[in-house]
Structure 1
Amino acid sequence: MDDLIVARALHVLAVVVWIGGVSMATTVALPALRRGDLGPDRLKAFEAIERRFIWQARASLIIVGLSGLYLTWQLDLWDRFRMPAFWWMDAMVGLWLLFAFVLFVGEPLILRRTFHRLATEQPDIAFAWLHRAHWVLLGLGLATVFAAVAGSHGWLIFL
């Protein structure tokens, strides 16, 4: 039983770091970058922030995935993925898959090069696009966290 407590605590802690980081980037760092508050070279400032946070985000995402899989396996919750009342479990997995793709495939293989080029040529457009994308990701993240917590306590069962 202690292993389940540790797994759940790690799961929640990693979600806090992950979604909290998205919130910080969306509501604090990107607006400051867009205004030039962190210096005239927005791309350099962005890359400095990203370089420091990307590994925290990736590590958190791995912990969330492994702990979520462990909890599902240990508690034998697989059938919930077939039950409409537990749609929020599918939402958690879907959000995790989206971020896993972005952080491990999209960002290093596609987005980094494309964003760097656009930020060099048209920084206002690049940072506006990046900020909008982060708002979408933050909205999905917060909605999923709310649904998962409410659903795990009996709310949202009939949606």
Structure 2
Amino acid sequence: MNDIIAARAIHVLAVVIWIGGVAMITLSVLPAARRGDLGPNRIAAFEAIERRFSGHARIAVLLVGLSGLYMLYRLDIWARFRLAEFWWMHAMVFVWLVFAILLFIAEPLILHRRFHEWGRRDPDGALAALQRGHWVLLALSLVTIFGAVAGSQGWSLF
């Protein structure tokens, strides 16, 4: 059972790094960039911060996925996905998939270039849209975290 404890600890630590970073970007970095607090080239400043964090986020998302899959396999709890009371497990997989697609496919192949071009033409619009998207991602993540912690302790909506 020590392997499960280690997997859960890795899972939670990686979620803290990943979603904590999303919160920092959403609540601090993007508002500062929109106000001009990051200097005259707000887009370049934001991209420099985002570039440094994206590697950490990718590692954290990989660790969350691997540790979550390991716990599902090791505890043989696949059947929970058939029960509505474990809605938070579906939410965890959904949020993980959204971020995995964004971080590993959409951002490096499409979004980074488009944001950079949009940011040169309309930095206010680009940063505002990015912040709205981050608010949606953060809200989904926080609801999922709340549900997962409460649900894993026996609290149920159903």
TM range (shorter): over 0.9
2:99 is equivalent to residue 99 of structure 1: yes
Alignment partner of 1:39: what SS?
Answer: coil
| Distance in 1 between residues matched to 2:135 and 2:28, nearest whole Å | 12
Unaligned runs of 5+ in 1: none
2:33 is equivalent to residue 33 of structure 1: yes
2:65 is equivalent to residue 60 of structure 1: no
| Distance in 1 between residues matched to 2:42 and 2:151, nearest whole Å | 41
Asked if the contact 1:86/1:157 (under 8 Å) is kept, the reply is no
TM-score by length of 2: 0.98
Unaligned runs of 5+ in 2: none
Q: Which residue of 1 aligns with 2:76?
A: 76
| Distance in 2 between residues matched to 1:157 and 1:43, nearest whole Å | 42
TM-score by length of 1: 0.98
| Distance in 1 between residues matched to 2:136 and 2:10, nearest whole Å | 25
Supply the AA of the counterpart residue of 1:135.
W
* Count of equivalent residues: 158
- The 5 A counterparts of 1:8-157 are 8-157=8-157
Kindly report structure 1 stretches of 4+ aligned residues shifted beyond 6 Å.
none
Supply the AA of the counterpart residue of 2:31.
P
Asked if the contact 1:115/1:126 (under 8 Å) is kept, the reply is yes
Percent of aligned positions with the same letter in both sequences? 62
How big is the shift at 1:157? 4.4
- The C-alpha deviation readout for 1:89-124, integer Å capped at 9, x for no partner, is 011000000000110111011111111111000111
